Structure 1
Amino acid sequence: MEDNLTKRSRSEFEALVRNASRAVQVMLTAQYNSFDGYFKELLDHSEKNLLRKLSPMHGLLCFDNSKIFKDLFSELLHYYKGGSINLEDVLNEFWSRLMECQFKHQNPHSQISDEYLECMVKHAEQLRPYGEVPRFFKLRLTRVFIAARSFVRSLSLGTEVVKKVSQVPPSPECIRAMMRLMYCPHCRSMASVKPCNNYCLNILKGCLANQADLDSEWRNLIDSMIQVADRFNGPSNLESLVDTIFLKITEAVQTMIDNRARISSKVLQGCGNLKSVSKRSVDDDAKKRGKPYPVEERPVSLVTPAVDRLVTEVKMKLRDVKELWVTLPSALCSEKVTAGSANEDRCWNGQSRGR
């Protein structure tokens, strides 16, 4: 009988810990899905608005224009999802490709070799064809993507920590103490008497001592996540910055169009004169370009919750689980398990019915 009760005590204890942690896992997973879905949708809409905005612009209808932008957003998404890429290199590559694309289109009667384009890109820092936009991307947008990536990864990490900790097997001493707590009253013909609350707390604090040791690091993780979430609000919030991508790129494109004479002059000075090509070759190139990338007629708007409401919710949920590991014994010694304060004189104290 004692062996059977030991097995039953172990099973019930593990179920209590699993059920208590499952609610936390569900909450963290829900917050992960909510933020992750929101951010991906925000990025997707920014890409669609960019292509809609740029397709009719004169000076950008070169053959691979849609691929340049699709590659950029693909790399941004890849980085956000944890890809081992350098975000600054991705942005530098994008501006170089865009400059080459525009320069080719602005000089349709010239034969431009790869070596010439490399020379032109080397002079890009002096030419500053896109004004302050590349610097904006390097500073503010990079910070936002680093924060967003860190935030979703920490939500995923928190879920994994709770899951693994809930699966830590109890020690033999813990199981024997749990059996004494839950089933020894049956041997004294007191099956209906519930354990005293303080007695239950002492047993579970001992059983969950290893989990309680995580408290300091768990608090640090939650505090860090809340600090990152705070950066998504305010005048430079995540929503406005990501949605600004398409506006900033169109601004950059227009800047190079407006200054094409000055830029071409500087390129010619630094890289030499261009070779002319026949009109037929130019016409052939125009045919290769085909139609602009198909895009929606109107700007795409978000249907997801505003970022401030989403962030407020996740911060509130995180604060609720900040003391998870030190409050777990109290949560498990609930009214359903223990006698409660009203019956403290008539509860099982490990020896008898009493205080």
Structure 2
Amino acid sequence: MRHAENHTNAVLQGLHHSMADQAAGPVRELFTDISLFLLGSELSVDELVQRFFDALFPVVYSHLINPGPGEISPGYAECVRSSRRDVRPFGGAPGLLADQIARSGVSGKLLLQALHLGIEVINTTDHLQLSRECRRALLKMHYCPHCQGLTESKPCMGYCLNVMRGCLASMAEIDAHWREFVHSLEGLSARMQGPQDLEQVLLGVHALLRDAVGHAQKSGPRLSAQVHKLCGTPSRKPTQLVSIQLSSSSSRDSVPLKAPVRPLGDSLAVRRRDFLSSMRHYRTYYGGLADQLCVSELVFGDGQSCWNGTDIVKRFVLTSQ
């Protein structure tokens, strides 16, 4: 989100340097509103986009359509802002942007909600409450051999699996739902392509904004006449000569910003792909947790002596002749 905002501001600096600083505020508010929408706010996408173009119109009008010495007064700027939906300076750009954000935002919003759900599941199962029977079984499996002086023994695989699967039965019940959750994430991610790819839509805001401002410039005479009819002659705040000279010098010395180059592999699509690849490794996590614990931590390898709950036995490995 921050990258898309910076990218939009950088392009505005290059194309319309005179108004870029004042346009940064509406641009920042637009991306903030989009973030709030994705996080579950009840904001209307159409309204937040319309509000952005409302705030942008006085800036475009003052600098590109009817430029003059000094800035237009706050009262006149408010009149220009209020007239935007009537005079339609940006053509179909507001509706197009709202449609793009709404379509791609649905998938983005669902993905965030799904990730929050996954976090809740993990946090809920992070602290397992062991039953009394489970604690007794674990105690017997780990420490009963010590009573016979067998302090270095470990449980046999079958015995370990029986105990751990009993202790983790509640986890196993989650397994089918967890598998479906991972599968749903994969399906949702697969749909986030083209117009459904929120990242690409947001990174393309600058192009749509460029066309919208260009449309307003081409319609300059019509817009000037309509705004004059609605708001009267522009009222501008006087600007001191020294300030103008400083501003002019600053403009000559400044270099338009280039759109920031994003590191390769830093895109949301790449991160999403890597995340899902990691999730696939844990698709069977809850169903196979007992097996993982027994194999990786609790039992000896094949061919070694182990505790079967009653005695130490030798575990033999069958080999093909």
Indicate whether the TM-score tops 0.5.
Answer: yes
- Is 2:261 aligned against 1:301? yes
Which residue of 2 is the match for residue 284 of structure 1?
Answer: 238
TM-superposed deviation, 1:54: 4.2
Which residue of 2 is the match for residue 319 of structure 1?
Answer: 280
Which residue of 2 is the match for residue 223 of structure 1?
Answer: 183
User: For 1:147, which of 103, 107, 120 is the aligned residue?
Assistant: 107
Which residue of 1 is the match for residue 46 of structure 2?
Answer: 88
Which residue of 2 is the match for residue 211 of structure 1?
Answer: 171
Evaluate the alpha carbon distance shift between residue 341 and residue 172 of structure 1 in structure 2; reply closer, same or farther with a 3 A threshold: same
User: For 1:248, which of 208, 221, 246 is the aligned residue?
Assistant: 208
Question: Following the alignment from structure 1 to structure 2, what is the Cα–Cα distance between the partners of residues 348 and 235?
Answer: 60
- Is 2:312 aligned against 1:353? yes
Question: Following the alignment from structure 1 to structure 2, what is the Cα–Cα distance between the partners of residues 65 and 284?
Answer: 21
Question: Following the alignment from structure 2 to structure 1, what is the Cα–Cα distance between the partners of residues 82 and 6?
Answer: 35
Question: Following the alignment from structure 1 to structure 2, what is the Cα–Cα distance between the partners of residues 286 and 120?
Answer: 29
Question: Following the alignment from structure 2 to structure 1, what is the Cα–Cα distance between the partners of residues 93 and 58?
Answer: 17
TM-superposed deviation, 1:349: 2.0
Whether the aligned pair in 2 keeps the contact of 1:52 and 1:295 (CA below 8 Å) is no
Question: Following the alignment from structure 2 to structure 1, what is the Cα–Cα distance between the partners of residues 92 and 232?
Answer: 31
- Is 2:135 aligned against 1:180? no
Structure 2 counterpart SS, 1:300: coil
Identity score, percent: 22
Whether the aligned pair in 2 keeps the contact of 1:48 and 1:300 (CA below 8 Å) is no
Shifted more, 109-118 versus 254-263: the winner is: 109-118
Evaluate the alpha carbon distance shift between residue 184 and residue 258 of structure 1 in structure 2; reply closer, same or farther with a 3 A threshold: same
Whether the aligned pair in 1 keeps the contact of 2:76 and 2:231 (CA below 8 Å) is no
Letter in 2 for 1:321: Y
TM-superposed deviation, 1:74: 3.2
Q: What RMSD, in angstroms, separates the aligned Cα atoms of the two structures?
A: 3.7
Under a length normalisation based on structure 2, what TM-score does the superposition of the two structures give? 0.76
Structure 2 counterpart SS, 1:347: strand
- Is 2:23 aligned against 1:69? no
Unaligned runs of at least 5 residues, structure 1: 1-38
TM-superposed deviation, 1:222: 2.1
Evaluate the alpha carbon distance shift between residue 171 and residue 274 of structure 1 in structure 2; reply closer, same or farther with a 3 A threshold: closer
Deviations 1:276-321 (A, max 9, x none): 36xxx54727989995998853222112525343332111101111
TM-superposed deviation, 1:94: 0.5
User: For 2:122, which of 131, 139, 162 is the aligned residue?
Assistant: 162
- Is 2:105 aligned against 1:137? no
- Is 2:55 aligned against 1:55? no
TM-superposed deviation, 1:100: 3.9
Whether the aligned pair in 2 keeps the contact of 1:45 and 1:302 (CA below 8 Å) is no
Structure 2 counterpart SS, 1:301: coil
Deviations 1:118-155 (A, max 9, x none): 7633425xx4x323322332122334344345434543
Question: Following the alignment from structure 1 to structure 2, what is the Cα–Cα distance between the partners of residues 99 and 115?
Answer: 10
Whether the aligned pair in 2 keeps the contact of 1:46 and 1:242 (CA below 8 Å) is no
Deviations 1:173-227 (A, max 9, x none): 1110111111212223433432121221111111111122222332333223223
Shifted more, 96-105 versus 283-292: the winner is: 283-292
Which residue of 2 is the match for residue 32 of structure 1?
Answer: none
Which residue of 1 is the match for residue 319 of structure 2?
Answer: none
Question: Following the alignment from structure 1 to structure 2, what is the Cα–Cα distance between the partners of residues 193 and 122?
Answer: 80
Letter in 1 for 2:310: Q
Question: Following the alignment from structure 1 to structure 2, what is the Cα–Cα distance between the partners of residues 86 and 177?
Answer: 56
Letter in 2 for 1:141: I
TM-superposed deviation, 1:253: 0.7
Whether the aligned pair in 1 keeps the contact of 2:83 and 2:230 (CA below 8 Å) is no
Under a length normalisation based on structure 1, what TM-score does the superposition of the two structures give? 0.70
Unaligned runs of at least 5 residues, structure 2: 316-321
Which residue of 2 is the match for residue 193 of structure 1?
Answer: 153
Question: Following the alignment from structure 2 to structure 1, what is the Cα–Cα distance between the partners of residues 24 and 239?
Answer: 16
Structure 1 counterpart SS, 2:283: coil
Structure 2 counterpart SS, 1:195: coil
Question: Following the alignment from structure 1 to structure 2, what is the Cα–Cα distance between the partners of residues 138 and 349?
Answer: 66
How many pairs does the alignment contain? 302
Evaluate the alpha carbon distance shift between residue 53 and residue 228 of structure 1 in structure 2; reply closer, same or farther with a 3 A threshold: farther
TM-superposed deviation, 1:257: 0.9
Letter in 2 for 1:178: L
